[in-house]
Chains A and B, each alone.
Chain A
Amino acid sequence: MKRVYAAIGILLAVAVLCVTTLKFQSNNIKELILIVEKIEDAYKKDDIESCIELSYEFAEKYKTNTGTFPFFMRHSDVSKIEETIVTLPIMLKTDDIQHFAAELARCKNMLVNMADLEMPSLGNIM
């Protein structure tokens, strides 16, 4: 009977871990998407200074928010977005505005995909 209790305990622990990581991940990604949307708004208003400031903030926030992601996600999935994020402020500083918009859209899309990646939807399960 002890082993049955151990089994139930393990399954409960796994369930709690799954729900916690899912919640943690989606909350952190939501925060990041909000910053991206702020950058988009500033970009639409041609406020490049704010864009640069927010881009740096975004890069910092990404590092802190995804610091624990490698515990439950493939490291490459986490670092792939970071590679794009670090180029954003540099693009603005070098007046590479056209590429900036494209890279920002790419970042947002990758973040949305990252949030969806761990969702236990039928598509992901299959």
Chain B
Amino acid sequence: MSIIAIRTVIIYIFVIAAMRIMGKRQLGELQPSELVVTLLIADLAAVPMQENGMPLLNGIIPIMILVALELLLSALMLKLPFFQRLIGGKSKIIVSDGRVDINALNSMRMTIEDLMEALRQQSIFDLRDVQYAIVEPNGKTSVLLKPGNRPATCKDLSLNTPDNGIPMIIISDGRISRWGLDVCRLSEEWVNTTLAENNVAIDDVFLLLADREKTYHLIRKEEEK
């Protein structure tokens, strides 16, 4: 029993390390080759975890090789566009200028119901609103609405909006985030002044969000309760 527990911990650490080496892309939207590698790693990790009589290396070596091959493959795909198309596939336009391309749909083995489902998932319920729909290599559908159906932007309305940057977490549960301060170009001194102005100690702060323009939102711990 203890052997299985130790082996599970080792394999777990190893698989996490493998996923980290492969990068963030692996964790989000999977390309076909990445999906294959992820499925294989899951399967390879499970066998030596359960079977005491099998050497751990029998699981670790194939995972190492898969990770290395995946890294080399993604580097090749980056350098050679042909390789990218061969391994990753390419995007396909299924709605062009508001017209559904039946041949493209058939070649993707998609039904019109599949297309409608993909549109509904993006809160588009009327096919007539769509100017372009593109199926990406990862299987997701990107949609561009017809100009009249696109949400109005500040540019459309000729509004001048200031760029305050991204609101970042400056204090979370009483702890200052140095990264948040750096991104917003704020100093610890500003944090102390802001806390003093609000008459609150750092330990009593549940959340402090701020942006580059020093606009902030503070939530105290008692408020959260």
Binding site for B on A (CB under 8 A): 1, 3-4, 6-8, 10-11, 13-14, 17-18, 70-76
A10 touches B64 (CB 8 A): yes
CB neighbours of A76 from chain B (8 A): 53
* A to B CB contacts below 8 Å, 9 in the list: A4-B71, A6-B21, A6-B68, A7-B67, A14-B61, A17-B61, A18-B61, A72-B55, A75-B54
One digit per residue, 1 when the CB lies within 8 angstroms of any chain A CB and 0 when it does not, for chain B 6-33 equals 0000000000000001010000000000
Other-chain residue from B21, B23, B55, B65 in contact with A11 (beta carbon distance below 8 A): B65
In the assembled complex, B57 has its CB within 8 A of some CB on chain A: yes
In the assembled complex, B69 has its CB within 8 A of some CB on chain A: yes
CB neighbours of A1 from chain B (8 A): 75
In the assembled complex, B72 has its CB within 8 A of some CB on chain A: yes
Nearest A residue to B67, CB-CB = A10
Secondary structure class of chain A's binding surface, majority of residues? helix
List residues of B (161-182) whose CB comes within 8 Å of A's CBs: none
Secondary structure class of chain B's binding surface, majority of residues? helix
In the assembled complex, B106 has its CB within 8 A of some CB on chain A: no
B64 touches A71 (CB 8 A): no
CB neighbours of A14 from chain B (8 A): 61, 64-65, 68
A11-B65, A13-B64 given as contacts; is B75 within 8 A of A74 (CB)?
Answer: no
Interface size on B, residues (CB 8 A): 20
CB neighbours of A75 from chain B (8 A): 52-55
A4 touches B75 (CB 8 A): yes
B71 touches A72 (CB 8 A): no
Q: How far is the CB of A122 from chain B (nearest CB, A)?
A: 19
Q: How far is the CB of B108 from chain A (nearest CB, A)?
A: 31
List residues of B (33-84) whose CB comes within 8 Å of A's CBs: 52-58, 61, 64-65, 67-72, 74-75
Instruction: State the CA gap A117–B129 with chains docked (Å).
Output: 64
Closest 6 CB pairs of A and B: A7-B71, A10-B68, A7-B68, A75-B53, A4-B75, A11-B68
B61 touches A71 (CB 8 A): no
B75 touches A3 (CB 8 A): yes
Instruction: State the CA gap A76–B51 with chains docked (Å).
Output: 11
Q: How far is the CB of A20 from chain B (nearest CB, A)?
A: 12
CB neighbours of B56 from chain A (8 A): 71
